[in-house]
């Protein structure tokens, strides 16, 4: 049977970057893999970022959405059926950062998929700063919790407190944060914030996740072969939690095509949108835009950080993802910088 791994993580956590390193590890082991970019959006930016992995032993597939959760689920199932006899040893699923993990289990327990595929691992990529800053509320918090509750391993992409920085209560900077302390603070904060503890008996409370064994906190390019050996065999957890309904329109993305704008103006608009209450709660802005006759920029932005990097891509599109977005208001902001506004 083909092992199938799910890489979860909230918007901007670093799933695509992690998958690049994980895929390289699997290919070096001699596996034949397929990466499925499994998104609700009608355009998939992350697919472009993984193109250089494509080769004889690594295929890239995409599931497009944009017309509802049930339609997306059917396409996911159909895609796996069509791949059933392709000779892969492992399939890696990168879902949207807005993803109900129950879909993964529900689809794979259906016939005939349960005869061809077996669930390998659920690996959750977590931005510890996102947890600490209290930016997860309502449905976003529920989705984040559902993504980590079933994980066999939690990989921390961004730590709380940079090693070498002065302590929060030390104005003179005499006590600096060590890397070990930064990792410990990040793990403890995630465990406490989301109640990752279980009661073994009336007087004995133990962690649902083992801080020593179930977390990995390293820059992705520093994760060792031994670490990946553990990640690739970590499995998953059976977890129960109160199910909340995910409405199709709650996280509807907006798309802007043929964008041409200066780098300075792009940064300004992105920064302002995260603060614009009238726009709705914007969680992430990503894409590729033209900044000049022969220049192009990749944008990957969250409320915490805006990254702009030179790139050469055939795509020219910006995707805005968030909750309860005010499409008319956001369209008005972008109308002078693109040929096609979101419909």
Whether residue 162 is predicted with pLDDT greater than 50 in this model: the reply is yes
Average pLDDT over residues 226-246: 79
pLDDT, tens digit, for every residue of 10-25? 777 888 889 999 999 9
pLDDT, tens digit, for every residue of 256-303? 989 999 999 999 999 999 999 999 888 889 888 999 888 999 998 988
Average pLDDT over residues 213-221: 88
Lay out the sheet containing 338-340: strands in order across: 306-310, 295-301, 281-292, 317-323, 254-259, 338-340
Whether residue 5 is predicted with pLDDT greater than 90 in this model: the reply is yes
Return the bridge partners of 6, or none: 93, 122
Greater model confidence, 165 or 34: 34
Average pLDDT over residues 223-246: 81
C-alpha to C-alpha distance for 69 and 246, rounded to whole angstroms: 9
> What architecture (CATH level 2) is domain 254-340?
2-Layer Sandwich (3.30)
Reported pTM: 0.77
Whether residue 200 is predicted with pLDDT greater than 50 in this model: the reply is no
C-alpha to C-alpha distance for 45 and 316, rounded to whole angstroms: 10
Greater model confidence, 336 or 134: 336
Average pLDDT over residues 205-209: 57
pLDDT, tens digit, for every residue of 42-87? 555 566 667 778 888 999 888 765 555 677 778 888 888 888 888 9
The band of 196, judged by pLDDT with boundaries at 50, 70 and 90, is low
Return the residue matching tokens 């499925």.
36
Is domain 2-231 annotated with CATH 3.40.50.300? yes
Average pLDDT of the chain is 80
The band of 177, judged by pLDDT with boundaries at 50, 70 and 90, is low
What are the counts of helices (DSSP H) followed by strands (DSSP E) for the chain? 11, 15
Greater model confidence, 5 or 313: 5
Domain ranges of the chain: 2-231, 254-340
Average pLDDT over residues 162-166: 56
Residue 329: the pLDDT is 95
- SS3 call for 299: strand
Query: Are 159 and 186 spatial neighbours (Cβ–Cβ below 8 Å)?
Result: yes
pLDDT, tens digit, for every residue of 75-126? 888 888 888 888 999 999 987 655 667 778 888 888 888 889 999 999 999 8
Q: What is the four-CA torsion angle of 96, 99, 102, 104, rounded to 10 degrees? A: 0
Tell me the Ramachandran region of residue 280: left when phi exceeds 0, alpha when psi lies from -120 to 50, beta otherwise.
left
Average pLDDT over residues 231-239: 88
Element (H, E) at 216: strand 215-217
């Amino acid at each position: 049977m083909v092992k199938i791994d799910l890489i979860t993580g909230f918007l901007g956590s670093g799933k695509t970057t992690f998958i690049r390193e994980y895929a390289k590890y699997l290919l070096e082991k001699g596996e034949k893999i397929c990466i499925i970019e499994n998104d609700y959006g009608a355009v998939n930016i992350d697919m472009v970022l993984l193109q250089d992995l494509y080769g004889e032993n690594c295929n890239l597939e995409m599931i497009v959405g944009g017309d509802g959760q049930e339609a997306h689920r059917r396409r996911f199932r159909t895609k796996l059926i069509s791949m059933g006899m392709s000779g892969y040893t492992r399939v890696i699923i990168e879902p949207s950062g807005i993803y109900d993990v129950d879909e993964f289990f529900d689809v794979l327990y259906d016939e005939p998929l349960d005869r061809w595929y077996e669930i390998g691992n659920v690996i959750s990529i977590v931005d510890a700063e996102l947890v600490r800053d209290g930016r997860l509320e309502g449905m976003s918090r529920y989705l984040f919790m559902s993504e980590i509750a079933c994980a066999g391993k939690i990989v921390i992409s961004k730590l709380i407190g940079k090693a070498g920085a002065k302590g929060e209560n030390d104005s003179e900077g005499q006590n600096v944060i060590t890397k070990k302390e930064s990792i410990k603070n990040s793990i403890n904060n995630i465990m406490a914030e989301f109640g990752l503890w279980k009661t073994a008996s009336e007087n004995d409370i133990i962690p649902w996740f083992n801080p020593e064994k179930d977390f990995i906190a390293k820059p992705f390019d520093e994760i060792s072969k031994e670490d990946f050996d553990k990640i690739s065999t970590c499995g998953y957890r059976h977890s129960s939690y109160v199910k909340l309904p995910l409405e199709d329109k709650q996280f509807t993305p907006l798309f802007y095509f043929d964008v041409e704008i200066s780098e300075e103006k792009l940064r300004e608009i992105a920064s302002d949108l995260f603060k614009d209450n009238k726009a709705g709660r914007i969680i992430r802005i990503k894409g590729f835009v033209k900044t000049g006759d022969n220049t192009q920029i990749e944008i990957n932005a969250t409320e915490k950080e805006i990254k702009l990097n030179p790139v050469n891509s055939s795509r020219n599109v910006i995707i805005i993802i968030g909750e309860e977005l005010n499409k008319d208001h956001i369209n008005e902001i972008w109308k002078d910088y693109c040929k096609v506004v979101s419909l």
